[in-house]
């Protein structure tokens, strides 16, 4: 049965967005509510801490950014899933997609998942709270074409789960004057 | 050495659902359907809902449905024996309304299924309003003509506001016949009909019943009428042979005028008794006149992959439920139960509650069908049921890649070999531009606002289209939808969703002056300079995580993209077979997934070897690989067990989590003897514990048996950023603290000096021989930002006052040319306007190897051709359609072409000079 759920996801400064999500099937047996929070950080240590505080911003200076760490916290999932983060340039072109298969804490699941035409090892999602799974990944920035070509402006990050678009977030990369 | 880059790259490195069309130009005419769709279930919702009062219950459907492609199947149980405990179920797009009239009370529960189909099914519905005293509804049902051989009637309950009574049930039993004539009782068995005959035998009280006529592609329907005579409990009907694993029976009936509400006289069930016979059964008879049962039946046979499990269930003892377990495993997301029930005796009129059932299916531990009635009793009531699992498309994965080649007036789209539907638009696809599961499409059919340009019925991996607009004004978007087609008697196609990033590619097949020779669309931004094999194959990494290979002459795909785990942002060195110990044209690819891949460019996949994950946790490989070629100069690796020394691939890591733990690896390049590490394994590792991230490509210093590596230095000069390593064993020969360096080192062409550009924008000349030291520093008078790529040297002579070297490099938005005489730098020119105004950024430069021009990509969407002697931005080519940032170009000496990528994900080929 197709289920629609109200989702909350948040970005910097405690701004909350509510969007309606649609899943082709229940994401978890007995799930009460599906949700996702997305944190951006320049710091891997603080992006996905259990119970926070998690550092989250939506605007970054390129020269201070080794990598952009993205922690996606999924609610009420159980099993193995594939998260995708698509980074869209300010001009609308697709810069890069990060595909992250993950298994929720304590769940048994396949060690490898087919994604993007290859088998990818599923990382074990982090326990970050009751019913919450944190999935941490990063976009390299320092020394990449982002810095080489000053790809600054307001990007868009599309968050998908199992191929279904969950939501879109703005992300600003800046260069110091 | 640096001049051999072409090959060696050492350092440089309507909806067509039985559509009926009428000609509209005055000539008129009937056109046969030009495509048809098969039925494919889209969604199934089900629940058991209580009707708590006389107020209709509105069940919100989630998700909403297209009611023209959906039908509801309802069954009700009651705790009352009164005949008015009945409900209708009426479906709309958003709501299922269950209505029992004003007297239904809190005694009815309804089990319901709403089955919605993606296509191939159309449903007409309505309610028949029977006035008091009338045995036919008014108005008569209005029905658009349907194909009788593909259509069946699904009744959805009845209701009345009549007062409580147990003795008048016959007023609320109805027969529905898809008939040959209006109001007739001759079943339609061929052709079309718009006549749905609804009747009851007694019309004392007003009543309403709900009907649905379902037209189902892939169904074959037989229908007829039958009578259980007053002295009989059964009747039979002969049918053409059917497969009972694919067929189910629908039945409606009206009780005789003298039934007097006796359930045993009118509750009737229908079942197959053989593949050629139906049997209708009631529980009792007492041979009294007008206690016949008048039946209408339909046998629906499905040839679309749907399956049917028939059965009969009866309870024992005192019971409220009865069940049958052991059904073949059911997929509850596509399964609906149709059933009829009999029960009662010949005289009792209070068994409505004992003979009315709801049904549920449970799985997966065991597939069980369970019936529930409103009252616990010993009375036996028997249900004949058909568990129908409708065909539903299994998920089809999107293509793991879609690429495209564009040439003047033509496009070729590539995908992993499969059957597929190709859609095209001249705008970006939107979410509704998707094929519908179950539909069959022909070329030129619409999928949303896109048009089908190809529908591969056998596995294929490319599609070519010619005759396209060459003006540059039209960009064609192509989307590939892999499909599967079931092998049922009626093939049903199911399609990938087309939602994965990168499955839509765009081609602008512009021709004429200033146009590219060709373009090649990858799945994401690609700014990395392409490489070129001796075999005329351009190889390029992309942010889509893949290595792409294409013909240098026309840009058609040379091999299916090789898939790595993350973006490729460094030019892969491509070693010709004549120079490689592997004997292959081989590319060494560094990926942000932390691995190095050795790729035979004749075939792509699989890799010749793949290294281990090289950086530490949280690290990537950002820079490129450099290759020590034993055919150029033999390099020994003492103690490593080689009988024949291999080529060595050198890479540096980019550990993002600290500024200290990066490493440089010398890897076995493949071929030769495996040594103690095997191909792809580390011959040596340099791990100084004070090394910041490496985003550059090392430089192979054959003259000095050394490897030069640049790195960052934690933002200061407190740790080294230039490293000279012993090529044989990876030990440190010397280092320099020059501040952060992202760019790669290069060398004067005589090998006496190493050039590095810092992130502060300084160009350094370092003595290559002996302990490294800075000989000269050039701080540009203008421009800003780091020096990109690597400094490009030009002179083959030892830099001196008489024969100064010329070095060209780029910063953020400027291109610089300097001279170096062996002791100091001098400024030749700086280009800041392209050609008349600044741009936000420029790429690393490349020259055309004849000393005339330098090429850079810029953020104005152009490739600029600068005059080497003056820096004048003499000519440009513009990428069409307009894109923002153009990447680092490469140059093909043989064909005289510039290859360059862009943020639009395309690689372009332009003839040089412009």
SS (H, E, C) B485-502: ECCCCCCCEEECCCCCCC
User: Is B805:B794 a contact under the CB 8 Å cutoff?
Assistant: yes
Tell me the residues of chain B between 852 and 881 that have a Cβ less than 8 Å away from chain A: 859
Within 8 A of A116 by CB-CB distance, chain B residues are 400, 545, 563
Q: Which residues of B touch A147 (CB under 8 A)?
A: 742, 786
Chain A residue with the nearest C-alpha to that of B44: A1
Mean pLDDT of all residues in B889-904: 96
Distance between CA B657 and CA B15 in Å, rounded?
Answer: 54
With a CB cutoff of 8 Å and minimum separation 6, the contacts of B496 are: B396, B397, B398, B399, B481, B482, B483, B503
pLDDT of B765 reads 98
**Averaged pLDDT, A30-40:** 60
* The pair of three-digit structure tokens given for residue B522, joined into one six-digit string: 């990858």
Question: Inter-chain contact B525–A86, Cβ cutoff 8 Å?
Answer: no
What residue in A sits closest to B740 (Cα-Cα)? Answer: A143
Q: Burial level of B25, CB count in 10 A (0-12/13-18/19+)?
A: exposed
Q: Which of B903, B904, B905 best tests the A interface by mutation, with the highest count of A CBs <10 A?
A: B903
Q: From the CA of B413, how many Å to the nearest CA of chain A?
A: 18
- Tell me what pLDDT residue A95 has: 97
CA gap B588, B650 in Å, rounded: 10
Distance from CA of B658 to the nearest CA of A (A): 10
Alpha carbon distances (Å) from B385 to B247, B248, B606: 11, 9, 54
Cβ atoms of B492 and B393 closer than 8 Å? yes
Strands B268-274 and B219-228: unpaired
Percent of residues, chain B, with pLDDT higher than 90: 86
> Region A137-152: what's the mean pLDDT?
96
Output the pTM of the full model. 0.79
Residues B248, B239: Cα–Cα separation, whole Å: 12
* Min distance B178 CA to chain A CA atoms (Å): 32
Band (pLDDT 50/70/90 cuts) for residue B488 is low
Q: In sequence order, what are the residues at sequence separation of 6 or more whose Cβ sits closer than 8 angstroms to the Cβ of residue B13?
A: B5, B529, B531, B571, B573, B624, B697, B744, B790
How many angstroms separate the CA atoms of A115 and A120, rounded?
A: 6
Tens of pLDDT, residues B221-254:
999 999 999 999 999 999 999 999 999 999 999 9
Q: Determine, for residues A143 and B693 on separate chains, whether the beta-carbon distance falls below 8 Å.
A: yes
Per-residue confidence at B491, pLDDT binned at 50, 70, 90? Answer: confident
pLDDT tens, residue by residue, A159-176: 999 888 888 999 999 998
pLDDT at B558: 96
Closest-CA distance of chain A to residue B439, Å: 20
CA distance A69 to chain B (A): 10
CB contacts of A140 in chain B (<8 Å) are 567, 592, 620, 622, 654, 656
Nearest to B563 among A117, A140, A147 (CB): A117
Q: Answer whether B481's CB lies under 8 Å from B421's CB.
A: yes
First-to-last alpha carbon distance for chain A, in angstroms, is 53
Per-residue 3-state assignment (H helix, E strand, C coil) for B337-353: EEEEEEECCCCCCCCHH
**Distance, in angstroms, between A1 CA and closest chain B CA?**
6
Q: Are B834 and B873 in contact (CB under 8 A)?
A: yes
Using CB atoms, pick whichever of A25, A97, A116 lies closest to residue B563: A116
| pLDDT given at position B812 | 96
The interface residues of chain B toward chain A in range 620-679, judged by CB-CB distance below 8 A, are: 620, 622-623, 654, 656-657
Higher pLDDT, A55 or B387: B387
Nearest-Cα residue of chain A relative to residue B784:
A177
Partners of A144 on chain B (C-beta within 8 Å) are 569, 622, 695
Q: Under a CB-based contact definition with an 8 Å cutoff, are residues B610 and B680 in contact?
A: yes
Closest approach of B656 to chain A, Cα-based (Å): 6
Residues 6+ apart with CB under 8 A from B99: B56, B57, B87, B88, B90, B159
Q: In B86-150, at which residue ranges do the beta strands (DSSP E only) sit? A: 88-91, 95-99, 108-119, 121-130, 146-147
Residue B453 DSSP label: E
B278-322 residue pLDDT tens: 999 999 999 999 999 999 999 999 988 899 999 999 999 999 999
pLDDT at res. A53: 58
B306 phi, psi to nearest 5 deg: -70, 155
Q: Which of B94, B393, B429, B525 to mutate to test the interface with A (most CBs of A within 10 A)?
A: B525
Q: Is A63 helix (H, G, I), strand (E, B) or coil?
A: helix
On whether the CB atoms of residues B906 and B530 are closer than 8 A, the answer is: no
The answer to whether B788 contacts A148, with C-beta atoms less than 8 Å apart, is: yes
Chain CA centroid to CA A86, Å = 9
Q: Are strands B293-302 and B307-314 parallel, antiparallel or unpaired?
A: unpaired
Q: Answer yes or no: is pLDDT of B217 > 90.
A: no
Q: Strand B853-857 to strand B862-867: parallel, antiparallel, or no bridges (unpaired)? A: antiparallel
pLDDT > 70: percent of chain B: 95
Question: A94 and B63: CB-CB below 8 Å?
Answer: no
Q: How far is A104 from chain B (nearest CA, A)?
A: 20
Q: Quick check: A16 pLDDT over 60?
A: no
Nearest alpha carbon to residue B19 among B116, B165, B110, B122: B122
User: Look-up: residue for tokens 């892939």?
Assistant: B218
Interface of A with B (CB under 8 A): 1-4, 22, 25, 44, 66-67, 84, 86, 89, 91, 93-98, 116-118, 120, 138, 140, 142-145, 147-151, 158, 160, 163-165
At B106 the pLDDT is 67
pLDDT of A55 reads 58
In degrees rounded to 5, what are phi and psi of residue B823?
Answer: -130, -25
Identify the pLDDT of residue A107.
84
pLDDT of amino acid A51 = 63
Give the mean pLDDT of chain B: 92
Residue B9 has a pLDDT of: 31
pLDDT of residue B12: 31
CA nearest to B64 within chain A: A2
User: CA–CA separation, A93 vs B368, rounded Å?
Assistant: 52
Q: What are phi and psi of A173, to 5 degrees?
A: -110, 135
Given a cut of 70, whether residue A25 has pLDDT beyond it is no
CB pairs under 8 A between A and B: 125
State yes or no: pLDDT of B35 exceeds 50: no
Give me the pLDDT at residue B715, please: 92
Alpha-carbon span B248 to B302, nearest angstrom? 9
Closest-CA residue of B relative to A152 is: B840
Look at A129 and B298; give whichever has higher pLDDT.
Answer: B298
> Cβ distance B332 to B318 under 8 Å?
no
- CB–CB of A144 and B695 under 8 A? yes
* pLDDT 10s digits, B372-420: 999 999 999 999 999 999 988 888 999 999 999 999 999 999 999 999 9
B residues 559-578 near A, CB within 8 Å?
563, 565-567, 569
Q: Are B204 and B165 in contact (CB under 8 A)?
A: no
Q: Measure CB to CB from residue A142 to each of B63, B567, B693 and give the nearest one.
A: B693
* Least confident span in B29-43, B381-395, B745-759, B774-788: B29-43
- pLDDT, average across residues A60-84: 91
| Per-residue pLDDT tens over the stretch B43-68 | 999 999 999 888 899 999 998 999 99
Range from B126-130, B216-220, B247-251, B790-794 carrying the lowest mean pLDDT? B216-220
Please tell me the distance from the alpha carbon of residue A91 to that of residue A111, in angstroms, as a whole number.
37
Which chain A residues touch B620 with a CB distance below 8 Å? 140
CB-closest option in B499, B786, B903 to A165: B499
Closest partner residue to B592 (CB to CB) among A2, A140, A151 is A140
For A94, which of B499, B525, B884 is closest by C-beta distance? B525
Q: How many CB atoms lie within 10 A of CB B328?
A: 10
Question: Do the Cβ atoms of B63 and A2 come within 8 Å?
Answer: yes
Residue in chain A nearest B811 by alpha carbon: A148
pLDDT at A12 over 60: no
Provide the shortest C-alpha distance from residue B695 to chain A (in Å): 5
Contact between B757 and B765 under an 8 Å Cβ cutoff? The reply is no
Residue A13 pLDDT grade (very low, low, confident, very high; cuts 50, 70, 90): very low
Say yes or no for a CB contact (<8 Å) between A118 and B742: no
B709 vs A contacts (CB less than 8 Å): none
From the candidates B528, B656, B661, which should be mutated to test the interface with A, based on the most A CB atoms within 10 A? B656
Q: Is pLDDT above 80 for B490? A: no
B840 closest CB neighbour out of A96, A116, A150:
A150
**Cβ contacts (< 8 Å) between A158 and chain B: which residues?**
501
User: pLDDT-derived band of residue B96, with 50, 70 and 90 as boundaries?
Assistant: very high
Grade residue B38 by pLDDT with cuts at 50, 70 and 90. confident
Both structure tokens of B822: 């062996």
Residue numbers in B near A25 (CB within 8 A)? 333
Q: What is the mean pLDDT of residues B590-615?
A: 96
CA distance to B28, B135, B186, B227, B260, per residue, from B291 (Å): 54, 17, 22, 11, 9
CA–CA distance, A113 with A124 (Å, rounded to integer):
12
Pairing of strands B722-726, A126-129: unpaired
């Amino acid at each position: 049965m197709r289920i629609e759920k109200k989702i909350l996801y948040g970005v910097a400064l405690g701004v909350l967005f509510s969007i309606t999500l649609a899943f082709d099937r229940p994401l978890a047996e007995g799930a009460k509510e599906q949700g996702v929070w997305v944190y951006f950080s320049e710091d891997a240590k603080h992006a996905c801490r259990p119970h926070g505080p998690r550092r989250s911003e939506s605007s970054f200076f390129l020269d201070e950014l080794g990598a952009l760490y993205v922690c996606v916290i999924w609610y009420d999932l159980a099993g193995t899933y594939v998260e995708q983060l698509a980074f869209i340039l300010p001009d609308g072109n697709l810069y890069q997609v990060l595909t992250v298969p993950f298994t929720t804490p304590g769940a048994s699941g396949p060690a490898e998942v087919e994604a993007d035409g290859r088998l990818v090892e599923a990382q074990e999602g982090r326990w970050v709270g009751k019913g919450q799974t944190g999935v941490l990944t990063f976009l390299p920035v320092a020394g990449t074409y982002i810095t080489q070509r000053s790809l600054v402006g307001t990007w868009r990050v599309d968050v998908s789960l199992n191929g279904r678009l969950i939501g879109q977030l703005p992300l600003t990369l800046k260069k110091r004057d | 050495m640096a001049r051999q880059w072409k090959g060696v790259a050492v350092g440089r490195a309507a909806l067509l659902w039985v559509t009926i069309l009428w000609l509209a130009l005055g000539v008129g005419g009937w056109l046969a359907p030009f495509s048809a769709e098969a039925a494919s279930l889209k969604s199934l919702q089900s629940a058991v809902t209580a009707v708590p009062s006389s107020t209709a219950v509105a069940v919100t459907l989630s998700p909403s449905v297209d009611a023209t492609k959906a039908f509801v199947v309802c069954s009700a149980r009651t705790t009352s024996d009164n005949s008015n405990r009945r409900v209708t179920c009426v479906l709309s797009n958003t709501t299922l309304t269950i209505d029992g009239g004003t007297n239904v009370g809190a005694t009815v529960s309804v089990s319901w299924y709403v089955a919605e189909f993606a296509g191939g099914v159309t449903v007409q519905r309505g309610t028949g309003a029977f006035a008091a005293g009338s045995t036919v509804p008014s108005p008569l049902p209005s029905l658009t003509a349907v194909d009788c051989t593909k259509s069946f009637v699904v009744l959805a309950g009845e209701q009345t506001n009549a007062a409580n009574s147990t003795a008048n049930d016959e007023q609320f039993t109805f027969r529905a016949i898809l008939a040959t004539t209006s109001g007739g009782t001759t079943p339609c068995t061929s052709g079309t009909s718009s006549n749905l005959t609804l009747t009851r035998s007694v019309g004392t009280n007003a009543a309403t019943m709900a009907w649905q006529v379902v037209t189902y592609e892939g169904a074959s329907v037989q229908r007829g009428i039958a009578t259980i005579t007053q002295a009989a409990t059964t009747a039979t009907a002969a049918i053409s042979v059917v497969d009972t694993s694919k067929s189910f029976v629908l039945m409606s009936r009206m009780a005789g005028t003298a039934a007097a509400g006796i359930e045993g006289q009118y509750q009737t069930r229908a079942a197959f008794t053989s593949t050629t016979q139906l049997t209708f059964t009631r529980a009792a008879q007492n041979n009294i006149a007008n206690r016949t049962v008048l039946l209408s039946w339909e046998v629906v046979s499905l040839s679309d992959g749907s399956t049917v499990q028939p059965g009969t269930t009866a309870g024992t003892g005192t019971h409220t439920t009865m069940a049958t377990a052991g059904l073949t495993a059911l997929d509850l997301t596509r399964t609906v139960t149709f059933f009829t029930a009999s029960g009662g005796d010949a005289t009792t009129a209070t068994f409505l509650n004992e003979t009315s059932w709801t049904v549920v299916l449970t799985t997966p531990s065991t597939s069980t069908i369970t019936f529930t009635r409103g009252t616990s009793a010993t009375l036996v009531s028997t249900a004949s049921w058909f568990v129908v699992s409708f065909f539903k498309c299994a998920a089809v994965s999107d293509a793991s890649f879609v690429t495209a080649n564009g040439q003047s007036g033509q496009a070729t789209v590539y995908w992993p070999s499969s059957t597929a539907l190709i859609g095209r638009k001249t705008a970006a696809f939107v979410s509704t531009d998707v094929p519908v599961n179950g539909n069959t499409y022909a070329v030129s059919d619409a999928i949303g606002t896109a048009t089908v340009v190809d529908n591969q019925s056998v596995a294929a991996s490319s599609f070519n289209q010619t005759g396209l607009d060459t003006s540059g004004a039209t960009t064609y978007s192509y989307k590939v939808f892999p499909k599967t087609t079931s092998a049922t008697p009626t093939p049903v196609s199911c399609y990938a969703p087309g939602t994965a990033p990168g499955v839509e590619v765009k081609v602008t097949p512009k021709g004429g002056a200033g146009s590219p020779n060709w373009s090649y669309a990858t799945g994401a931004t690609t700014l990395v300079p392409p490489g070129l094999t001796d075999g005329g194959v351009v190889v390029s990494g992309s942010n889509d995580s893949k290595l792409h290979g294409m013909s240098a002459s026309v840009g058609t795909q040379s091999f299916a993209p090789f898939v790595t785990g993350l973006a490729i942002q460094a030019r892969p060195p491509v070693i010709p077979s004549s120079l490689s110990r592997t004997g292959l044209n081989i590319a060494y690819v560094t990926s942000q997934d932390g691995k190095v891949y050795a790729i035979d460019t004749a075939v792509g996949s699989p890799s010749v070897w793949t290294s281990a994950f090289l950086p530490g946790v949280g690290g990537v490989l950002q820079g490129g690989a450099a290759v020590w070629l034993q055919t150029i100069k033999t390099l020994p690796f003492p103690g490593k067990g080689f009988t024949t020394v291999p080529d060595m691939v050198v890479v540096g890591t980019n550990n993002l989590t600290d500024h200290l733990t990066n490493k440089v690896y010398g890897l076995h390049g493949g071929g030769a003897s495996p040594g103690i590490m095997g191909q792809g394994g580390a011959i040596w590792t340099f791990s100084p514990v004070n090394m910041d991230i490496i985003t550059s490509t090392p430089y192979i210093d054959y003259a000095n048996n050394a490897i030069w590596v640049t790195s960052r230095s934690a933002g200061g000069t407190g740790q080294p950023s230039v490293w000279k390593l012993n090529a044989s064993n990876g030990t440190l020969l010397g280092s320099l603290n020059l501040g952060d360096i992202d760019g790669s080192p290069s060398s004067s062409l005589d090998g006496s000096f190493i050039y590095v550009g810092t992130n502060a924008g300084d160009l350094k000349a370092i003595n290559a021989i002996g302990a490294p030291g800075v000989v000269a520093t050039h701080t540009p008078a203008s421009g800003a930002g780091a020096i990109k790529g690597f400094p490009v040297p030009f002179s083959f002579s030892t830099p001196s006052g008489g024969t100064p070297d010329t070095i060209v490099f780029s910063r953020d938005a400027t291109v610089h040319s300097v001279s170096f005489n062996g002791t100091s730098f001098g400024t030749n020119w700086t280009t800041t306007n392209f050609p008349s105004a600044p741009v936000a950024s420029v790429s690393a430069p490349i020259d055309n190897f004849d000393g005339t021009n330098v090429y850079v990509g810029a953020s104005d969407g152009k490739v600029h051709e600068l005059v080497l002697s003056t820096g004048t931005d003499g000519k440009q080519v513009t990428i069409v359609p307009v894109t923002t940032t153009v990447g680092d170009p490469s140059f093909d000496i043989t064909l005289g072409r510039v290859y360059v990528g862009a943020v639009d994900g395309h690689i372009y080929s332009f003839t040089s000079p412009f």
